[in-house]
Amino acid sequence: MYIHKRVANLYRDSVSLMQLSAALGRLPGVEQASAVMATPANLELLRGARLLDGAPSASPNDLLIAVRGKSTAALEAAIAAAMEELQRPPAQAGAGGLAAQPPRSLQMGLAQVPGANLALISVPGEYAAAEAMKALRLGLNVMLFSDNVPLADEAALKRYARGRGLLMMGPDCGTAIIDGIPLGFANAVRRGAIGVVGASGTGTQQVTSLVHRRGAGISQAIGTGGHDLHQDIGGITMLRGLELLARDPQTRVIVLISKPPSPRVAKAVLDAARRAGKPVVVNFVGAREPASGANLHTAGTLEEAALAAVALTAGRRPARPPRPGRKIPKTKFRKNQRFIRGLYSGGTFCYEASSLLGEAWSNAPVDPARRIKEVWKSSGDTLLDLGDDVFTRGRPHPMIDHRLRNQRLLAEAADPEVAVILFDVVLGYGSHPDPAAEMMPALLEARRNRSLVLVGSVCGTDEDPQGLARQESALRKAGVVLAESNARAVRLAAAIAGRRA
Amino acid sequence: MSALFAKPLSVLNVGIASFADAIERRGGAAVRIEWAPPANGDARAGAALARLVNDARVEAANAQAAERYLAAQPRLEGIGVAREALPGMGTRMILHAGPPVAWERMCGPMQGAIVGAILYEGWARDAEAARAMAKGGEIAFEPCHHHGAVGPMAGIISPSMPVWRVLNPVHGNRSFSNLNEGLGKVLRFGANGPEVIARLNWMRDTLAPALQAALGKLGPLEIKPLMAQALHMGDEVHNRNAAASSLLIKRLMPALLKSGAPAADAAAAVEFIAGNDHFFLNISMAACKAMLDAAHGVASSSMVTAMARNGVEFGIRVSGTGERWFTAPAPLVNGLYFPNQSIKDAAPDLGDSAITETAGVGGFAMAAAPAIVKLVGGSPRDALANTLAMTHITLVRNGGFTLPALDFAGAPACIDARRVVDTGILPVINTGIAHKEAGVGQIGAGVTRAPLACFAKALVELKTSCR
């Protein structure tokens, strides 16, 4: 018996067709096979070879596959094999020995790596929303590092993502750790059972680093971006993150980090947290009111949040927050020398300090009444977020470029009323490769010929490229009094300057 | 459900490169996208693109348009006279290449060719009178594309000129092109002297009837298989047509001899065709036009259905945006120039022949024509690279046009305006270069690129029409 199949308007050269014919002839149950362009001469050949009879309705532009054998099944299988070969996708066709072109769009990248599942986007803000929308439309989860994206665009992106079950981290999302992989500004931490959803990049860095330093680990750390809990956004990403972590079997305890949200958004987030089915530690930095609920645990500081989460994964109840146990260095200050100046690279650290010190002036105050009037001139206790736009215009972020902070540090040190200079050092991927070395000359100069206390905390881990121990030891040598966390550093600074925090 | 957590993290990194380094240092997978602001930073086009990427309607429309392009079977039916054959052709109308352009703005070669066409039609006694007539608004100038036609270089078609008639019986659409005059002093480069007019007269009076008689004897000639075969013989059927012209003459000659055409005419016709390696070009162009017109007019489709230049502007049309042209200034062509000629002497990019690239041949099939890359200044590897680059901005590979040097993969075809804007990879065009003054002729050949702005404008319009 014999059957044939016509493929309309498909041209193949005769050599390719002879190869195809030979391959079909080798298939089991096939006695003879031929694939030809259906010219009158070729059709005559097929009839002569007992592969065809009569005159099929085929034109010379059609390709004809004819097979002879014993069973219909074998012949149909052969035709199917031929069709598959003819329709072999172009991706498998050769590139003539040329290397693949580097992808120039997300879509091109996805074509090269069809398994890609997240786009990490850090293009200038004016292009960021469009790039993120493309990524979502292509079915990718997104971490949008870029800032300066209008709130309306953020809402549109997050609603689109929500409708398609995708995670939209950011805009203005600095930090995430997915499957143990650091994204953006993030620390190298071991994997574990604590999941984090953070609206603050440095907040997430502090909590994940401290968890690592206490021997525990992170399942996932999801960033939402700084505006997610704004009432126009409604916490879409925090709610989605909570949902993902609640479902994630690796995650046993969840930590939520944010500045205090608007009451309506706070209610939605806390309601969802109560339904998470696992303990949730809530740190709304600077919030006065504790969250209530059987599985909810309020933490006053980022450090408390980390310690509570570590305790909960070990099956313990979180302990009362520790008071600064360390000895307060005795320093002889002159009569008018009494103020604290905080110079922060991490915005949330500055905010946390403002929350703990209360009365300090700041460009990121918890109490709007304490907003500093003139950011270039400190007075009284002053806490500055040097990552604020006003300082970063035209220069890199202070986690990468320490020059501005070094200058400001020397200016503060020259102020006779200053007793304590307080600062953070943020390690991890994205940050400066050796911040201690970068700060060293300014730190040494600041304390030359005067009694002044430098208090700092290093946010990072032993696995970070900069090395926690190496950085801490260098800073100690420069005379910096170090605390394990920002909250401890703030309290220590307050104690040294003789006030409460 | 998000594929995050369940599958290994695999990142596409757009922007700060060190983020990808960090991912890899911690054992993750990251691909670095070579990003630049889409549409050269045109925010409106960028936003339109973001809304059109992977849009279900656009995807479905493109699949349909590409399917129609692939299914089209252009067939050479014969020769006609422009005034009778071309839809909407007026008695005092002259067609030109590219998007619409007024007489005053036309480049030198186009004005020269129009003067020649007026003399050929006998509407004016001399060049001066012809010029005055053209300037005086007595003659309608319209793009070939508005009448189902295409013409290389100046692309001039006047009412009594013979035209190739192509039919795509699958979708029932027709297309047309003028007959190729050869090289040297020819109308399409703006020459209009007595020898040019004499040749045009001979083509009308002798060549066209002989060809019509031959095709009458032969019956309709399928063009795609001929193009496909030529691609296997070193042509890309735009700037190299040596093989295709030979194949054509091989098909026509027996029919011509049997047609009863006077022996002297048949001999002259054969000699003329044999002396012109570009004779097939106009047939290739008409065939491409037929395939692309079949794909035109699918609502929401972002597939480009025409690219054409008038020597001043480069214009494109898109399947889903109707008859509108999206234009940008025509670029000067960087190429190899004949002795004593340079880019300073060149007219900006000119001609409807970029219809071949639009249809997946020409520059898009450069891998098929290693001999051409020397002319356009490059190595055979560059030819392969150019074809491969086009796969990133096209919707399909045309299995009807296979490329031996790329393991017989199909030629990349059906330009997606979205992908052009998103990647910044611009359609590559093999082209001849005309002298900027009328009548000097071809002064070189090269490779040029379609301007990005055309595609950006098209996306803004498509986004509006997709609402």
Q: Is residue A105 in a domain?
A: no
Helix-helix angle A347-357:A486-496, to 10 degrees: 40
Neighbours of B138 (CB within 10 A): 12
The per-residue pLDDT for range A402-440, each reduced to its tens digit, is 999 999 999 999 999 999 999 999 999 999 999 999 999
User: Is the CB of A91 inside 8 Å of chain B's CB atoms?
Assistant: no
Range of the domain at B310: 56-69+297-466
Indicate yes or no: CB of A130 within 8 angstroms of CB of B38: yes
Question: Which among B43, B402, B406 has CB closest to A94?
Answer: B406
Cross-chain CB nearest to A178 (options B9, B32, B399): B9
Which of B5, B70, B424 lies at the smallest CB-CB distance from A179?
B5
- Spell out which residues of chain B touch residue A86, defining contact as CB-CB under 8 Å: 399
- In a shared domain, residues A87 and A168: no
Q: Is the pLDDT of residue A94 over 90?
A: no
If asked whether residues B25 and B10 sit together in one domain, one would say yes
Interatomic CA distance for residues A227 and B201, integer angstroms = 75
Q: Do A95 and B33 make contact, defined as CB atoms within 8 angstroms?
A: no
Q: Is A155 helix (H, G, I), strand (E, B) or coil?
A: helix
Show the CA angle centred on residue A477, arms to residues A475 and A480, nearest 5°. Answer: 50
Shared domain check, A235 and A169? yes
pLDDT at A96: 54
Whether residues B169 and B60 share a domain: the answer is no
Same domain, A159 and A288: yes
| Statement to judge: residues B316 and B260 lie in one domain | no
Question: In this structure, is residue A268 part of a structural domain?
Answer: yes
A105: chain B residues, CB-CB within 8 Å: 33, 35, 38, 419, 422-423
Contact of A311 with A318, CB cutoff 8 Å: yes
* B214 closest CA partner among B76, B74, B75, B73: B76
Share of residues in chain A with pLDDT > 70 (%): 96
**Chain B CB within 8 Å of residue A66 CB:** no
Q: What is the pLDDT of residues A199-238, one digit of tens each?
A: 999 999 999 999 999 999 999 999 999 999 999 999 999 9
- Taking the CA of residue B49 and the nearest CA in chain A, the distance in Å comes to 8
Residues of A in contact with B392 (CB under 8 A): 101, 104, 108, 111
**Least CA distance to B52: which residue of chain A?**
A134
Tell whether A3 lies on the interface with B, counting CB pairs under 8 A: no
- Interface contact A13-B232, CB threshold 8 A: yes
Taking an 8 Å cut-off on Cβ atoms, the answer to whether A95 and B384 are in contact is yes
Asked if pLDDT for residue A501 goes beyond 70, the answer is no
User: Which among B25, B34, B50 is the nearest to A134, CB-wise?
Assistant: B50
The 3-state DSSP class for residue B145 equals helix
| CB atoms near residue B333 (< 10 Å) | 27
Taking CB atoms and an 8 Å limit, are B406 and A119 in contact across chains? no
Q: Is residue A104 part of a domain?
A: no
Which residues lie across from B435 on neighbouring strands?
B346
Which CATH number fits the domain that encloses residue B240? 3.90.1710.10
Q: How far apart (Å, rounded) are the C-alpha atoms in residues A134 and B19? A: 20
- Locate A240 and state its tokens: 């989605």
What SS3 string covers A259-324?
A: CCCCHHHHHHHHHHHHCCCCCEEEEECCCCCCCCCCCEEECCCHHHHHHHHHHHHCCCCCCCCCCC
For residue A119, is it within any domain? Answer: yes
Q: Does A103 touch chain B (CB under 8 A)?
A: yes
CA distance B31 to chain A (A): 7
Find chain A residues with C-beta within 8 A of B69's C-beta.
Answer: none
Can the peptide bond before residue A171 be classed as cis, meaning omega within 30 degrees of 0? yes
pLDDT at A497: 92
Among A residues 374-433, those touching chain B with beta carbons less than 8 Å apart: 429-430
Q: Is residue A476 part of a domain?
A: yes
What tens digit of pLDDT does each residue of A436-465 get? 999 999 999 999 978 899 999 999 999 999
Nearest CB among A11, A108, A184 relative to B224 is that of A11
Same domain, B14 and B115: no
> Both A278 and A347 in a single domain?
no
A101·B389 Cβ contact <8 A: yes
Using a CB-CB cut-off of 8 Å, the residues of chain A touching B29 are 113
Alpha carbon of B347: minimum distance to chain A alpha carbons (Å): 32
Contact A60 B225 (CB under 8 A): yes
Average pLDDT (A369-388) is 94
Query: Among B262, B284, B306, where does a domain finish?
Result: B284
Q: A82 and A203 share a domain?
A: no
Which residues in chain B have their CB less than 8 angstroms from residue A242's CB?
none
Regarding whether B434 and B315 lie in a shared domain, the answer is yes
List the 184-213 stretch of A: residues with Cβ below 8 A of B: 184, 186, 188
Q: How many CB atoms neighbour CB A54 within 10 A?
A: 7
Of the candidates A263, A305, A308, the residue with the CA atom closest to the CA atom of residue A283: A305
Identify the residue whose tokens are 């045009």.
Answer: B200
Q: Are residues A120 and A87 in the same domain?
A: no
Say which residues have a Cβ less than 8 Å from residue B432's Cβ, sequence separation at least 6.
B152, B153, B239, B351, B353, B442, B444, B445
**A108: nearest CA partner in chain B:** B392
**Is B41 part of a structural domain of the chain?**
no
- B409 to chain A, closest Cα gap in Å: 6
| In-domain check, residue B47 | no
Residues B65 and B114 grouped into a single domain: no
Asked if A153 and A189 sit in the same domain, the reply is yes
Q: Does A96 touch chain B (CB under 8 A)?
A: yes
Q: How many CB pairs under 8 A join A and B?
A: 232
CATH number at residue A77: 3.30.1360
CA distances from B205 to A118, A235, A420, B357 (A): 67, 79, 101, 33
| Nearest-Cα residue of chain B relative to residue A91 | B409
The verdict on A151 and A275 lying in the same domain is yes
The answer to whether residue A14 neighbours chain B at the CB level (below 8 Å) is: no
The reply to whether B289 falls in a domain is no
Nearest residue in A to B381, CA atom: A98
* Distance (Å, whole) CA A374 – CA A360: 14
User: Which one of A123, A137, A167 has the shortest CB-CB distance to B2?
Assistant: A167
CA distance A141 to chain B (A): 7
**Nearest residue in chain B measured CA to CA from A250:** B5
Query: Would you call B404 and A13 a contact, using CB atoms and an 8 Å cutoff?
Result: yes
End residue of a domain, out of A59, A91, A123: A91
Looking at the structure, do residues B62 and B20 belong to the same domain, yes or no? no
Determine, yes or no, domain membership for B223: yes
Q: Which of B33, B44, B392 to mutate to test the interface with A (most CBs of A within 10 A)?
A: B33
Look at A61 and B224 and tell me if their CB atoms are within 8 Å.
Answer: yes
Would you say residue A81 lies in a domain? yes
Together in a domain, A34 and A138: no
pLDDT for the residue numbered A92: 43
Nearest residue on chain B to A120, alpha-carbon basis: B13
What residues of chain B score a pLDDT lower than 50?
1-2
**Same domain, residue pair A171 and A83:** no
Q: What is the pLDDT of residue A91?
A: 46
In a domain, B90, yes or no: yes
Query: CB B400 to CB A102 under 8 A?
Result: no
Give the domain CATH number at B324: 3.90.1700.10
Question: Could you tell me the two tokens for B452?
Answer: 């990005």
Q: What pLDDT score does B375 carry?
A: 63
- Do B103 and B133 belong to one domain? yes
Distance in Å, alpha carbon of B43 to nearest chain A alpha carbon = 8
Of B225, B399, B419, the CB nearest to A107: B419
Structural domain contains residue B305: yes
| Mean pLDDT taken over chain A | 91
pLDDT of residue B287: 98
Chain B residues within an 8 Å CB radius of A109: 12, 31, 33
Residues 109-138 on A with a CB inside 8 Å of B are 109-113, 115-124, 126-127, 129-131, 133-135, 137-138
Q: Is residue A6 part of a domain?
A: yes
CB-based contact A430 B19, cutoff 8 Å: yes
Q: Which of B263, B284, B305 is the last residue of a domain?
A: B284
Residue A159 in domain: yes
The neighbouring-strand residues paired with B327 are B315
Q: Do B5 and A178 touch (CB under 8 A)?
A: yes
Domain closes at, from B223, B252, B284: B284
pLDDT(A95) > 60: no
Phi, psi (deg, nearest 5) at residue A38: -80, 60
| Whole-angstrom distance, CA of residue B50 vs CA of residue B32 | 20
Number of domains in chain A: 3
Overall size of chain B counted in residues: 467
Range of the domain at A56: 2-91
**Cβ pair A413, A378 in contact under 8 A:** no
For residue A267, which of A297, A248, A293, A294 has the smallest C-alpha distance? Answer: A293
Q: Is the dihedral of CA A257, A258, A261, A265 positive or negative?
A: negative
Contact A177, A188 (CB under 8 A): no
Q: B147 and B243: one domain? A: yes
Q: Are B159 and B97 part of one and the same domain? A: yes
Tell me the three state secondary structure of residue B346.
strand
Verify that B271 and B189 share a domain, yes or no: yes
Residue A189 has a CB neighbour count (10 Å cut-off) of 27
**Burial level of A416, CB count in 10 A (0-12/13-18/19+)?**
exposed
On chain A, the residues whose CB falls within 8 A of the CB of B13 are 119-120
Contact across the interface for B12 and A118, Cβ inside 8 Å? yes
**Could you tell me the CATH number of the domain that includes residue A372?**
3.40.50.261
Nearest to B73 among A61, A94, A122 (CB): A61
In a domain, B206, yes or no: yes
Confidence of residue A93 (pLDDT cuts 50, 70, 90): very low
Residue B301 lies in a domain: yes
Residues A268 and A404 in one domain: no
Question: A84 and A197: one domain?
Answer: no
Instruction: For residue B55, list chain A residues with Cβ-Cβ distance below 8 A.
Output: 137
Residues B429, B388 share a domain: yes
Number of domains in chain B: 3
Q: In what order do the strands lie in the sheet with B304-310?
A: B326-329, B313-318, B304-310, B350-351
